[in-house]
Structure 1
């Protein structure tokens, strides 16, 4: 699969190993990741109660698809004190945006491959 337009934020080999290379399962997992990111990103604000829960959930989802940098930044944010939370959550949002861009490109490639039969 051509990945020339990806940033490297996601190591899709991790995901492919988990899904056994099954494109349908891979697409389902990526769809779940995108949905989770959308739901939990609303909590990535230090003024919102439960922001640690948000980064914890994103951390697990990120690790599952091979977004190791995003998972590591989430772990860092979970451990930080309130004074450092705004900067940590900004780093999480930036990494999540990069991972979501890579996921969108990868899903596009999966769709094109499916069209080729």
Structure 2
């Protein structure tokens, strides 16, 4: 993966503003995001009692790195009732996968920068 593979699902300018452009901190934040995604994504199912907590947590994490589409999808799912949530949770899952691909590409670029330094 490389920067050319970015879909635009994550506005990394948001992350860079938050981290002051420090690549090490950006890598740490993105690593935490990936860990949270792995932890919470299995709960993106209304059969799991914690589905609403999962989308709430992912919404905050997504907003923090600039994954606006994911954050919006989470907000819609979080506001839904249990009967209406399944298609919205599928949208969250799809947006999460795209955001994670962008995160992987960006982390790869951060790694390359550290090797050049």
Secondary structure (helix, strand or coil) at the match of 2:5 reads coil
Q: Is there any run of 5+ residues in structure 1 with no aligned partner, and where?
A: none
Q: How far apart are the structure 2 equivalents of 1:41 and 1:70?
A: 12
Moved over 2 A (4+): none
Q: Match of 1:4, SS?
A: helix
Partner of 1:39: 39
The whole-number CA distance in structure 1 between the counterparts of 2:4 and 2:43 is 32
Give the Å deviation of 1:3. Answer: 2.8
Please name the residue that 1:116 is paired with: 116
1:50 is displaced (CA, Å) by: 1.2
Tell whether 2:9 aligns with 1:13. no
Q: Which residues of structure 2 form unaligned runs of 5+?
A: none
Give me the whole-angstrom Cα distance separating, in 2, the residues matched to 1:116 and 1:102.
21
**Alignment partner, residue 95 of structure 1:** 95
- 1: CA distance, partners of 2:23 / 2:101: 19
Report the count of equivalent residues: 116
Pairing 1:43-54 to 2, within 5 Å after superposition:
43-54=43-54
Instruction: Provide TM-score, normalisation by structure 1.
Output: 0.97
Q: CA deviation at 1:4?
A: 1.9
